[in-house]
Amino acid sequence: MTAATTRAAAGPPAVAGDVLVVEGLVHRYGDLVAVDDVSFRIAPGETFGLLGPNGAGKTTTISMVAGLVPAHEGAVTVTGRSMARDPVAAKAHLGLVPQELAIYPELTARENLTFFGRLQRMRGKELDRRVAEVLELIGLEERAKDLTKEYSGGMKRRLNIGVGLLHRPALLILDEPTVGVDPQSRNAILESVEALAAEGVAVLYTTHYMEEAERLCDRIAVVDAGRLQAEGTRDELVRLTGGVDHVRLSGAGDIGAAAAALRSLPTVVEVAADRSALTLTVRDAARAVAHLVTAATAAGMSLDGVEVSRPDLESVFLHLTGKALRD
Amino acid sequence: MRQLLVMTAADLRQRLRDRTVLIFGLLVPLGLMLVFNLVFGGSDDVELRPVVVAVSAPAGDAFAAVVLDAVESVDAVDVTVTRGDPVEVAARTRSGDADLGVAVPQGFTAALQAGGSTEVDITEGGEAGLETDIVVSVVDGVVARLHAASVAARAGAVAGLPADRLEGLAARAAEGPDITLVPGAAADEQLSPAGAVVAGQAGLFLLFTVGFGVLGLLAEREQGTLDRLRSMPIRPGLVVAAKALAGFVLGVLATAVLLVAGALLFDVGFGSPAGVAVLVVVAVAAATSLTFVVVRVARTAEQANVAQSILALVLGVAGGAFFPLSATGPVGVLLDLNPVAALIRGLGITAGGGGLTDLAGPVTTLLGFALVATLLSGLVPDRGAAR
């Protein structure tokens, strides 16, 4: 029985320790350091997110993890196999879902899956069975015999993911898999990732969509300028912001006087004013908001709206890098 | 090995499905062969028309009789000789009754023997052409030999040879050199016009066909499948090897089909199948190697396709795919190193009856080209990968 057969019959192989260990990765493009001393680990069944804007170094990082580009420094180990010393063995345990639709337009969905399965050393009935399972999983069994160039964008995206998980990898790497996907397909993709993690697959997920990272990822690394700025669970990251909330008071009247009055309150950390609103950074907004409204109104501002927002990953990114996630 | 075959088979399946190879590798070259053969066809089957030659030869003049006999004995052209005096000869030629007039002057033999000057008047009529040129060249040759015989006899006389030796010497000189012309190696490298068209188009489109396989590497890079392949448990270099093998298979198949179809359609023979097979294989290897240089230099698939098309056309034209091209010196050497030219030259050798041993020149050229291009592709930075 081949290793692939074992995996097909029993799901991802049992891994004693972490499925992926990344230590001190560095990659340079000339003088530009694209990835600078990046380290993280992913355990079986864990979904690890790399969150950062375009150009942050996420794709270069996963390219090194997948063995597509060499690490100038550092090491990648997949299920205990070194990507540098034994890339063939390490790659046998990972599945890559690139950001591009990495499928062949002149082949059908079944032919695409069968082709990539054979390259993963799957054979015969085991391969046929697994192809059928994946076609059902991604909802393409009805269109399995159609050339993929005739598929919609969402169908191609689902097949793109299907190829990555065909051989039941211990580590699934998804590089921004929902870019350009309609909301319905996006939800289906996210559900698939959650199901895979539940089956014990370790998932490395890159995105610049904060909502996806919050929904999917057990741990998140915030990446900017090639470096991991912070890493932890969502709550751990949010605590880095100091536990402050944001309150937006919009309206008219004497906004300048209202800003001055609010700055004097002990719960207010920061006040930013524009012509029609005040944005406040405050501690424990739930308890302070009534005082804030009273003080602003007393100072001559007539309010027509109040918004309270708790800190999220966007806030974390802003706090860590000084810029918005989608900049 | 199994993974290599899996990748090559998938690649071939896609190339055949998108029909580009069928169109540019087979239909277009076959169409061009048809057009070129319609335009240039039949130029090797020149039919010589019969000609009338009016001859004036003084009666009793021995050398004049030799000239007359030579005209009547021309093999290549059907010649009808009409006799008359010089005035009649000129009149017939002017009127068109004769295509050529030959007037041997009075005292022709005596003048030659005395070493004096004499002239044979030749007048071409209005319908003169290749046929009369042949007759003129025959007359010219006979007169030259008679002159040589006279010179030899006079030289012998000056040297004091006896009369019987002088006669033998003169007769020998008049017979001309004892040389037999036998069609030989030079003629073996000549293809018929139809054969040259078929060979040329096969050589030209070989460069396109191989490109469809190898340039797929850039398409894979652009559509992201190259990254996916490289993330799989396969040996480094397997993807490139699969593309090379796919291009090679496409090249061999397309060229073989073109040569066979061209041979059947235009009644062309290329000789030894083994020789032709060797030529096709090494020519495809050379074309495949060249395409890898293009893959390294081009940044995108579009750039690569343009570069490949330009290279194919330049090498095709310089190699004689459309019309024979020759030069001397360094340019001539450069033309000889062209893979298309080498393929055509090799097919000329096999068509002329040459075997494997006669193909050393073109085969060496093609293998050398493949080797140099392969080395070059290893040295040139991969601009596409650096994007």
Residue-by-residue pLDDT tens, chain B, 387 positions: 788 899 899 888 888 887 877 787 778 888 888 887 777 665 555 677 888 999 988 888 888 888 888 888 887 788 888 988 888 888 888 888 888 898 988 888 888 877 777 888 888 887 777 888 888 888 888 888 888 877 777 777 777 777 777 666 666 655 655 555 444 444 345 678 888 888 888 888 888 887 777 777 778 888 889 899 999 998 877 887 888 888 888 888 888 988 888 888 888 888 888 999 999 999 999 988 888 888 787 777 777 778 888 888 888 888 887 877 777 777 878 888 888 888 998 988 888 888 888 888 899 999 999 999 889 888 877 665 544
pLDDT confidence of residue A122:
92
Which of B2, B6, B223 lies nearest to residue A115, judging by beta carbons? B6
Q: Does residue A297 have a pLDDT over 90? A: yes
Chain A residues lying within 8 Å of B13, measured CB to CB? 106-107, 111
Q: Are residues A206 and A298 in the same domain?
A: no
pLDDT computed for residue A3 by the predictor? 34
- Minimal Cβ distance to A68: which of B227, B233, B235: B227
Specify if A324 maps to a domain: no
Question: At a CB cut-off of 8 Å and minimum separation 6, what does B295 contact?
Answer: B214, B215, B217, B218, B304, B377, B384
What digits encode the pLDDT tens for the residues B347-384?
888 888 888 888 888 999 999 999 998 898 888 776 65
CB contact under 8 A, A107 and B13: yes
DSSP state of B110: H
- CATH number for the domain that contains residue A282: 3.30.70.920
- Asked if pLDDT for residue A66 goes beyond 90, the answer is yes
Question: Does residue B231 belong to the interface with chain A, where contact is any CB pair within 8 Å?
Answer: yes
Given B152, B170, B186, the domain boundary residue is B186
Query: Which residues in chain A are closer than 8 Å to B233, comparing Cβ atoms?
Result: 88-89, 91-92, 119-121
Same domain? For A22 and A129 the reply is yes
A320 within a domain of the structure (yes/no): no
Q: What single-letter amino acid sits at A183? A: P
Average pLDDT over every residue of A104-124: 93
Rounded CA gap, A224 and A211, in Å?
18
Tokens (6 digits) for A247:
């309150």
Closest CA to B86 of B69, B70, B113, B104: B104
Looking at the partner chain, which of A106, A111, A119 has a beta carbon nearest the beta carbon of B232?
A119
Answer yes or no: do A286 and A151 share one domain. no
pLDDT at A8 over 50: no
- Domain residues for the domain of A251 are 244-310
Number of domains in chain A: 2
Q: Check pLDDT > 90 for residue A109.
A: yes
Q: Are residues B216 and B336 in the same domain?
A: yes
Rounded to whole angstroms, the Cα distance separating B259 from B67 reads 49
Q: Tell me, yes or no, whether A268 and A294 share the same domain.
A: yes
Distance CA B299, CA B303 (A): 7
On whether residue A325 sits in a domain, the answer given is no
Identify the domain boundary among A218, A238, A258: A238
Q: What share of chain A is helix, strand, coil (3-state, %, to 5)?
A: 40, 30, 30
Residue B148 belongs to domain spanning: 51-186
A108 and A62: one domain? yes
pLDDT of residue A6: 35
- Count: domains in chain B: 2
How large is the ipTM?
0.77
Q: Are residues A206 and A284 in the same domain?
A: no
Tell me, yes or no, whether A72 lies in a domain.
yes
Query: Is A170 within 8 Å of A94 (Cβ atoms)?
Result: yes
Contact status of B233 with chain A (Cβ, < 8 Å): yes
Nearest CA in chain A to B226: A102
Are B205 and B162 in a shared domain?
A: no
pLDDT winner (highest mean) among A54-68, A303-317, B194-208, B324-338 = A54-68
Q: Does one domain contain both B36 and B60?
A: no
CA B139/CA B120 separation, integer angstroms: 9
- The whole-angstrom distance between B189's CA and the closest CA on chain A is 44
A197 and A263 both lie in a single domain: no
Least confident of A17-31, A95-109, B15-29: B15-29
Q: Which of B228, B235, B239, B382 to probe by mutation at the A interface, max A CB count within 10 Å?
A: B228
Cross-strand bridge partners of residue A23: A75
pLDDT of residue A13: 54
pLDDT tens profile A231-285? 898 888 888 777 778 899 999 999 999 999 999 999 898 898 888 899 898 888 8
| Any domain includes A12 | yes
Residue range A36-51, pLDDT digits in tens: 999 999 999 999 999 8
Going by C-alpha positions, the residue among A175, A172, A1, A164 that lies closest to residue A79 is: A172
Structure-model confidence comparison of residues A327 and A25, the more confident one: A25
Chain A with chain B: Cβ pairs closer than 8 A: 70
Q: Is the domain of B175 the same as that of B205?
A: no
Q: Is A226 found in the same domain as A269?
A: no
Q: What is the pLDDT of residues B19-55, one digit of tens each?
A: 877 787 778 888 888 887 777 665 555 677 888 999 9
The verdict on A211 and A295 lying in the same domain is no
Compute the distance between CA of residue A156 and CA of residue A112 in angstroms, rounded to an integer: 11
Domain holding B94: CATH number? Answer: 3.40.190
Q: What is the pLDDT of residue A107?
A: 93
Q: Quote the pLDDT of residue A4.
A: 36
Interface test with A, best of B212, B225, B234, B238 (most A CBs within 10 A): B225
Q: Which of the residues A104, A127, A156, A166 would you substitute to probe the B interface, choosing the one with the greatest number of B C-beta atoms within 10 Å?
A: A104
Say if B384 falls within a structural domain.
no
Q: A71 and A169 share a domain?
A: yes
In a domain, B327, yes or no: yes
Per-residue pLDDT at A5: 34
Tell me the HSE value of A98 on the side-chain side, using a 13 A CA sphere: 23
Same domain assignment for residues A125 and A15: yes
Task: Give me the pLDDT at residue A61, please.
Answer: 93
Domain's final residue, options A205, A238, A271: A238
Question: Could you tell me if A277 and A227 lie in one domain?
Answer: no
- pLDDT score of A44: 92
Q: Is B94 on the interface with A (CB under 8 A)?
A: no
Query: What is the spatial distance between Cα B293 and Cα B339, in angstroms, rounded to a whole number?
Result: 15
